[in-house]
Structure 1
């Protein structure tokens, strides 16, 4: 027990809250997001390749007077896949019908939705990689032939009734394109890969959101919020709302650099966008295990979180930021992680020699 007491980290009594920098949509956030979402491709900030390619697909279909090909939007959460589906329907002047993969548990669930579709409508399925297999197999025929077979009855007396459906455009969104089956992926005529945003584009996102919210913000304050938003517009908008609260409580509502920095410090979002859980993982890895390698289950126990949370929510950004590396033996802290914690990295730290050459 004495050895445990001497370690420099401890298990927190409660899991660290990370709602501010979690790219997943939070409960009760839909209305706030809806007011900030752009309504057209021209208003959409960032993703220039996706906007140009999608514009060609939609304009070509309009010129020919046909329904556009089915669209697959792939990328991490919070980058605007749902917003893009709304823009597609808006650009086409049609209705948008929304559902999610987990909600389509049976083929009948999908059949009920498809039977109500009108010609030219856009059907948006979020997290389409989680759709149940029976519904997915029905979707094949609907996407290709605009027809579904509805099974009536059970057992030997079951009858298949063909049902024609009007031409429609399916927009599927996924955060895990690798989990899509080959037959489903091949039926999409256009696939777009959404990329993380740079600070310049995120600053524009913050400026636009501030105008919509009626908030006065200085350019350097907008840039500060953008630089801590982990390349994700949803996080940028969320942090802006928290900074607005801080500015209204501690000032006159005007957001300057000091207000932005003070608010982000209160909400435990550091200069790189890391929160308490991110820093706890790095601290365990560096201070508790000398930089690793350490298994993800060990890290999760040390910070008081589920291993899936550490692996799916925390790790992706730390890897992208160059703080940790995944190896066959476990997670390893890089020289950048040591420095971010204010420590001198050892000579064997990953990336140590590369950083010295850059210096």
Structure 2
């Protein structure tokens, strides 16, 4: 019933206030959004766009193992975030027709945590460990034996009277994902039978990703519109799909409901994503580096404080893309802005101009 600008919704004999109804609607909308994201993941290697070399090699590993009637070798997938490591782990399980168990390195902080996971695995199950380089050292050492001999040594008791009891576990395939493969200990890295490195996507591959995603989400998109989004997606499918949804929102609210080039340009201007894919943080780093420190060199901590972010955020989120695009370079003395950075911001290092707007 509507009264004085507030309203109530009757549901199963109980009444919800307007605020509660709105929260329920928000939860349902979030569930729909998560379901949409899950629907965008390809279900097989044949649907996976890009990473042709890795997919071809992985297909051989899986088919050969199935032909021998054995579980495949353990798989290590490395590369920047958002390129499809989790999706490939799901595809591996799907291609094998096996269950998938998911966990992450930070969640496995004790050997007992890993022992509980390994001892509950089923025969042929795929265990996916995201950010495997962040696993605790004690758990890593237990994982060595589990990967090689399918055995877990459980220690009972403490001190001189402690006893290690070997516990056989079913044969399984470990799929590890890492954004920093150099942090993996050599003994752990050597136990993976296949290592695949995922590279950034080309604009053409991202256009294919966006066309597929638009079809699955029921979005009407033009070729010029998807090309505009692809060129600003930093070579990353996760970013491309996220920008596609934001452009869809703009087209729905302020446009004509079609994701075309005009809608893409207008929407991405609202969300502060420029022509090269730089967002607020990226531009903030470049602007601080050029205008406040004269192009550098500047230490990471000083740069992070200046933009109001944590050093790890600047180092892992902004820097890889800025270095890859040739906007900054890392030196022993600190970060330095390149000529391309000055040009992109519309600055003249000799005059110390202010940056141009987006």
Q: TM-score, normalised by structure 2?
A: 0.87
Whether the 8 Å CA contact 1:322–1:336 is kept in 2: the answer is: yes
CA contact (8 A) 2:82 2:237 kept: yes
Q: Which runs of 5+ in 2 are unaligned?
A: 1-30, 352-358
After superposition, the C-alpha distances for 1:55-92 in whole angstroms (9 at most, x for unaligned) are: 01001111111110000000011100000000000000
Residue 279 of structure 1 and its aligned partner are, at CA, apart by 1.0
2:36–2:217 Cα contact (<8 Å) kept = no
Q: Which structure 2 residues correspond to residues 1-359 of structure 1 after superposition, within 5 A?
A: 30-344=34-348
Do 1:210 and 1:216's aligned partners in 2 also have CA atoms closer than 8 Å? yes
Q: Distance in 2 between matches of 1:340 and 1:199?
A: 20
**Equivalent position SS for 2:164:** strand
**Alignment check: 8 A CA contact 1:339 1:345 kept:** no
Distance 1:300 1:173 in 2: 27
Report the secondary structure of 2:276's partner residue.
Answer: coil
Report if aligned partners of 2:98, 2:124 keep a CA contact under 8 Å in 1: yes
Q: Distance in 2 between matches of 1:145 and 1:206?
A: 43
TM-score, length basis structure 1: 0.86
Equivalent-residue separation in structure 2 for 1:291 and 1:148 (angstroms)? 54
Q: Could you tell me how far 1:29 is from its partner in structure 2?
A: 7.1
Name whichever of 259-268 and 145-154 sits farther off. 145-154
Provide the alpha-carbon RMSD of the alignment. Answer: 1.8
Q: How far 1:153 moved relative to its partner?
A: 2.6
Question: For residues 202 and 333 of structure 1, what CA distance do their matches in structure 2 show?
Answer: 28
| 1:295-321 residue CA offsets vs partner (Å, 9 max, x unmatched) | 222222221222222122111110001
Query: What CA distance in whole angstroms lies between the structure 2 residues aligned with 1:309 and 1:66?
Result: 42
SS of 1:151's partner is strand
Distance 1:77 1:258 in 2: 29
Cα distance in structure 1, aligned partners of 2:32 and 2:76 = 27
Rounded Cα–Cα distance in structure 2 between residues aligned with 1:150 and 1:94: 26
Structure 1 stretches lacking a partner, 5+ long: 1-26, 348-359
State the distance in 2 between where 1:289 and 1:174 align.
Answer: 34
Cα separation, 1, equivalents of 2:210 and 2:175 = 27
DSSP 3-state at the match of 1:238:
helix
CA distance in 1, matches of 2:298, 2:280: 19
Give SS of 2:70's match: coil
SS at structure 1 position matched to 2:83:
coil
Name whichever of 298-307 and 199-208 sits farther off. Answer: 298-307
The whole-number CA distance in structure 2 between the counterparts of 1:41 and 1:344 is 48
| Offset, 1:230 | 0.6
